[in-house]
Amino acid sequence: MVGASKKVARMLQRLNPDGWHYGGLPGLQWEAENAREGDRALMGRIVDELREDVRFEEFYHACINCGNCTSMCPPFRLVDFEPRIVVQKVMHAKDEPELLYQMMDQYIWACFQCYSCWEVCPAHNNPGGLVAMLKEIAVRHGLQSARKTLEPYSKILYKVMTTGTQITPDMHTSMALFKDWGPHKAELSKNIRTERAAVPVETMAGVMDKSWRVDDSTMKELMEIEEEAGVLDAVGGSLKDVADMVREAAKEME
Amino acid sequence: MAAEERKKEEKGRFIAERRYVDDQRIVEPEKLEAGGVDMSGRWGTLVLPRTIEEFDHSLFEGVKRLPRGGKVGKCWQCGNCTAVCPVAHANPMFNPRYLIHIVRMGYQAEIEKVKDYVYLCSGCGLCSAACPKDVDPQGVMIALSIAFKSGRAKGGR
Amino acid sequence: MTGTVLVVGGGPAGLRAAVDLADFGARVLLVEKRDQLGGAPVRWKYRSLAPDFTPTEEVMGPLIGFCESSPMVEVHKGSVVEGCEGSVGDFTVKVRNEADGTTTEHRVSSVIVATGFEHFDASVDPRYAYGRAPNVIGINELEAMLKEGRVVGHDGRPPKRVAFIFCVGSRDRSTNPWCCTVCCGVSIKQAIEMKQTLGDVQVYMIYMDIRTVGLWEKLYWDSMEKYGINYIRGRVGEVYYTGEKLLVKGEDTLVRGPFEVLFDMVVLAVGIEPGPGTKQAAGVLGLKLNEYGFIAPRQPNVHVDSGRDGIFLAGTCIAPMSIEETLSEGSAAAMQAAKVLKKTVAV
């Protein structure tokens, strides 16, 4: 199988040099991509872990390939990602674990768990939930794709630990971190102090003080979750400083 | 050339599922300014939607009028033709069933992607023998190559 | 001992049973909940019946005419069966007239239950915008339009582009998990009739599987080969009214392509589900319902046998089925009632 895929991969390289992503024909592309040698034992473990998960029974029944999930999927509009394919590959995971494994690299990270698919599935499958389970497995095994995707998230984790869950226009200017809020936020933050003074005190209660501080117990809990889930280990390699900082903060707490 | 290659590779490199996005659909403006604030870099990256917004049957009607394409309307997408096709077996980019469907529904972007592969048809006729609806896929492939060549694939309408 | 048979339901199965029994020489008590005989085909004004475009009148007319005029058939319209006591050969049933509230008692030898079905109410499923957006109609409503020969949108203009969405309220755990068996064929029949009526119209069938069983397959082939109707494999997630047209969101699973296309009219192939009449009759007669709400026969392969001696089943109160099957089930149930009559009274 792997040998054949290599051949297909080379062929694709030769035939499709103009970079168009080959979206039309289901199945083919993964096999081609799968030319990379994978650890067969790991693939088997991943399938077992997925099927033994307590959520599996509820999230997966059987797929009749109707495409209802995909029709509601927001990433599907932009990326060649389909919840239908996810369920299909989960369905055939026992026979073709390499396709499931292949999917965990890049593919499933297009999903952001809006669960529109779950809402509409006539068989009550939950593709979004299955993706969430796969992502967890990817993190647990420290797969390369998980590391890469979690990099930005680890920064958010750091932000939560240091400045709480709130983000306000003040931070926009002081830290210049949140460009994606759009340029009008800079405009907003110009006179923010004056404008705030006009807002009744009780409305602002908690915004400026409590939510900027994170309770020690919350920090500890977050820390434990991160450690248990393997996120810290996963990003440790690429974002060493962030991981170290978080670890130090944890030590200080103790 | 090398610089161009590198640029192509770097395009949209922040996208986690980069491999599943068409290069052509990623828009990265060199300089983007919005409301006086510099938004260049990854913040300005756009991915254009790949949604099909129109069914266009003009190319399909043209194929139907060609001598060997007359029976294309009978196709019900069972995939028997692709299953027996020796070319499709060796090169999955050539897929008679798929070609017929995208031409029927007029999916222009998809046609642009794969239209050149239609010339890979060796004309062995196995598909025409296997077709349960008597579509004559081999003839349809010939008709398609003529239709694509005569420029009817582009613009269509 | 009595020579009368009670038939509950005046649709195709009930009428067929009544006609056969009356021909056989038995007296028939025909109880129909509505004020008109003929069941769903007459109530929803079906233009023609699949697969051969037979006009509904041609099939239903003779049956209704016979029952209305025959001295052997006593028709109670606007009535329901309210009580049933006794056993095979000698039941005592109460029939209440809904209009004036009067109740009459009758002695019957056996009972045939043919309470039929209801079309699925698509407003239950919010994704199709049925009842909220104009020009989203069910196949039942399209039949009446086709019968009038005037297929138009809410603005009075004929549609240029129509989508049929299959399996609405069928094969879905959220609504009804069964396949209604006929709406593929009926939708295709209607698509062909629409092409014949309007001429200049593009019809798109958005299907999950085409289940034109048996000889109905000809409809499917003809629609594609003679009428150029387009088929898209996928299931629709949302119908959205833009204020002018209907935006249908779905996936073409044959190309893995998302489509969001504007249509002038969306026709929902609404499925078959058991109606309130079936539940009521089953309650009165002491019959078991299955998990879906249809009446459960003693043995799933023998539809006529209700599990209670002297009570027989026919038609879509047991399972979704086509009209030809319904008619023959009416005859089959009539045969069972005749057997009971032969044993108890000499006819």
Out of B53, B107, B110, the one facing C260 most closely (by C-beta) is B53
**pLDDT of C177 above 60:** yes
- Residues from chain C that touch B73, judged by Cβ atoms under 8 A, are 224-225, 228
Q: What is the DSSP letter of C297?
A: P
CATH class belonging to A38-141:
mainly alpha
Full residue range of the structural domain in which residue B82 is found: 58-149
Question: CB distance C261–B54 less than 8 Å?
Answer: yes
- Residues from chain C that touch A72, judged by Cβ atoms under 8 A, are 237-238, 249
- Burial, C224: exposed, middle or buried (Cβ in 10 Å; 0-12, 13-18, 19+)? buried
State yes or no: cis peptide before C51, omega within 30 of 0. yes
Of C121, C91, C125, the closest CA to residue C108 belongs to C91
Least confident of A244-253, B56-65, C208-217, C276-285: A244-253
Q: What's the rounded Cα separation, in Å, for the pair C232 and C252?
A: 6
Structure tokens at C254: 């044959």
Choose from B1, B17, B77, B115 for mutation: most chain A CBs within 10 A.
Answer: B17
Q: How confident is the model over B81-97, as pLDDT tens digits?
A: 988 999 887 777 888 99
B40 and B89 fall within a common domain: no
Question: CB distance C230–B104 less than 8 Å?
Answer: yes
Question: CB distance B77–C230 less than 8 Å?
Answer: no
Given a contact cutoff of 8 angstroms between Cβ atoms, the answer to whether C314 and C17 are in contact is yes
**Which helix H or strand E contains A173, and what residues bound it?**
helix A169-175
- Residues from chain B that touch C264, judged by Cβ atoms under 8 A, are none
- A20: left (phi > 0), else alpha (psi -120 to 50), else beta? beta
Which pLDDT value is given to residue C163? 96
- C290: left (phi > 0), else alpha (psi -120 to 50), else beta? beta
- In-domain check, residue B53: no
**pLDDT of A21 above 50:** no
Q: How confident is the model over C130-139, as pLDDT tens digits?
A: 999 999 999 9
**pLDDT of A28 above 50:** no
Whether A67 contacts chain C with CB within 8 A: yes
What is the percent of chain B with per-residue pLDDT over 90, rounded to a whole number?
41
Given a contact cutoff of 8 angstroms between Cβ atoms, the answer to whether B24 and A24 are in contact is no
Q: How far is CA C181 from the centre of its chain?
A: 11
Backbone angles phi, psi at C75, to 5 degrees: -95, 125
Q: What is the DSSP letter of C86?
A: E
B21 and B63 fall within a common domain: no
B63 and B137 fall within a common domain: yes
Which pLDDT value is given to residue A115? 94
B75 and B29 fall within a common domain: no
Question: CB distance A82–C251 less than 8 Å?
Answer: yes
Which pLDDT value is given to residue A16? 46
Residue-averaged pLDDT of chain C: 93
- B78: left (phi > 0), else alpha (psi -120 to 50), else beta? alpha
Which pLDDT value is given to residue C258? 87
Question: CB distance C225–B73 less than 8 Å?
Answer: yes
Given a contact cutoff of 8 angstroms between Cβ atoms, the answer to whether B5 and A151 are in contact is no
- In-domain check, residue B31: yes
Neighbours of A89 (CB within 10 A): 24
- C25: left (phi > 0), else alpha (psi -120 to 50), else beta? left
Q: How confident is the model over A194-236, as pLDDT tens digits?
A: 887 788 777 766 666 666 677 777 777 877 777 777 777 766 6
Q: What's the rounded Cα separation, in Å, for the pair C45 and C54?
A: 13
Whether B102 contacts chain C with CB within 8 A: yes
Domain boundaries, given as residue ranges, for chain A: 38-141, 145-253
Which pLDDT value is given to residue B20? 82
B38 and B62 fall within a common domain: no
**pLDDT of C199 above 50:** yes
Q: Average of pLDDT values for A165-187?
A: 59
Alpha helices in C70-198 (DSSP H): 139-148, 183-198
Choose from B15, B93, B110 for mutation: most chain A CBs within 10 A.
Answer: B93
B117 and B87 fall within a common domain: yes
Q: Average of pLDDT values for B33-38?
A: 69
B66 and B115 fall within a common domain: yes
Q: How confident is the model over C210-255, as pLDDT tens digits?
A: 999 999 999 999 999 999 999 999 999 999 999 999 999 999 988 8
Whether A33 contacts chain B with CB within 8 A: yes
**pLDDT of A3 above 80:** no
B85 and B143 fall within a common domain: yes
Whether B64 contacts chain C with CB within 8 A: no
pTM above 0.95, yes or no: no
Of C243, C231, C236, the closest CA to residue C261 belongs to C236
Q: How confident is the model over A88-124, as pLDDT tens digits?
A: 889 988 877 877 888 887 889 999 999 999 999 999 9
Whether C218 contacts chain A with CB within 8 A: no
Residue A17: pLDDT band (50, 70, 90) is very low
CATH number at residue B67: 1.10.1060.10
| B126 CB-near residues (< 8 Å, 6+ apart) | B84, B85, B86
- Residues from chain C that touch A67, judged by Cβ atoms under 8 A, are 233-235, 250-253
Question: CB distance A20–B19 less than 8 Å?
Answer: no
As for the ipTM of the complex, it is 0.85
Question: CB distance B77–C259 less than 8 Å?
Answer: no
Domains, chain C, in order of start with CATH, read: 4-116+275-344 (3.50.50.60), 119-271 (3.50.50.60)
Whether C253 contacts chain B with CB within 8 A: no
Whether A17 contacts chain B with CB within 8 A: no
Question: CB distance C230–B57 less than 8 Å?
Answer: yes
Given a contact cutoff of 8 angstroms between Cβ atoms, the answer to whether A24 and B110 are in contact is yes
- In-domain check, residue B52: no
B62 and B89 fall within a common domain: yes
Whether B78 contacts chain C with CB within 8 A: no
Whether C259 contacts chain B with CB within 8 A: yes
- In-domain check, residue B18: yes
B31 and B108 fall within a common domain: no
Least confident of A95-99, B71-75, B111-115, C104-108: A95-99
Which pLDDT value is given to residue A199? 80
Q: How confident is the model over C88-126, as pLDDT tens digits?
A: 999 999 999 998 999 999 999 999 999 999 999 999 999
**pLDDT of A251 above 80:** no
Domain count, chain B: 2
Q: How many CA atoms lie within 13 A of C72 on its CB side?
A: 20
List strand residue ranges (DSSP E) for C38-177, in order: 48-49, 54-55, 73-76, 79-87, 90-97, 103-108, 110-113, 117-119, 136-138, 161-168
- Residues from chain C that touch A73, judged by Cβ atoms under 8 A, are 258
Which pLDDT value is given to residue C344? 81
- In-domain check, residue B77: yes
Of C170, C212, C184, C233, the closest CA to residue A65 belongs to C233
Out of B23, B91, B93, the one facing A19 most closely (by C-beta) is B23
Question: CB distance C225–B104 less than 8 Å?
Answer: no
Residue A22: pLDDT band (50, 70, 90) is very low
A&B contacts, CB < 8 Å: 87
CA distances from C177 to A22, B39, C325 (A): 35, 51, 21
Of A119, B52, A114, A66, the closest CA to residue C247 belongs to B52
- Burial, B44: exposed, middle or buried (Cβ in 10 Å; 0-12, 13-18, 19+)? middle
Q: What's the rounded Cα separation, in Å, for the pair A157 and A222?
A: 9
| B46 CB-near residues (< 8 Å, 6+ apart) | B26, B27, B28, B29
Q: What residue in A sits closest to C125 (Cα-Cα)?
A: A120
Question: Which residue type is seen at A153?
Answer: Y
Residue-averaged pLDDT of chain B: 84
**pLDDT of A10 above 70:** no
Residue-averaged pLDDT of chain A: 74
B62 and B22 fall within a common domain: no
B141 and B108 fall within a common domain: yes
Q: SS3 for C109?
A: coil
Whether B60 contacts chain C with CB within 8 A: no
Whether B74 contacts chain C with CB within 8 A: yes
Q: How confident is the model over C269-323, as pLDDT tens digits?
A: 999 999 999 999 999 999 999 999 999 999 999 999 999 999 999 999 999 999 9
DSSP secondary structure string, C147-177?
Answer: HHT----TTSPPPSEEEEEEEETSS-TTS--
Question: CB distance A66–C127 less than 8 Å?
Answer: no
Q: Average of pLDDT values for B57-81?
A: 91
Q: What is the DSSP letter of C296?
A: P
Which pLDDT value is given to residue A253? 64
Partner chains of C (3+ C-beta pairs under 8 Å)? A, B
Whether C232 contacts chain B with CB within 8 A: yes
Choose from A70, A76, A82, A121 for mutation: most chain C CBs within 10 A.
Answer: A70
- A 163-192: CB under 8 A from B: 179-180, 182-184, 186-187
Whether A74 contacts chain C with CB within 8 A: no
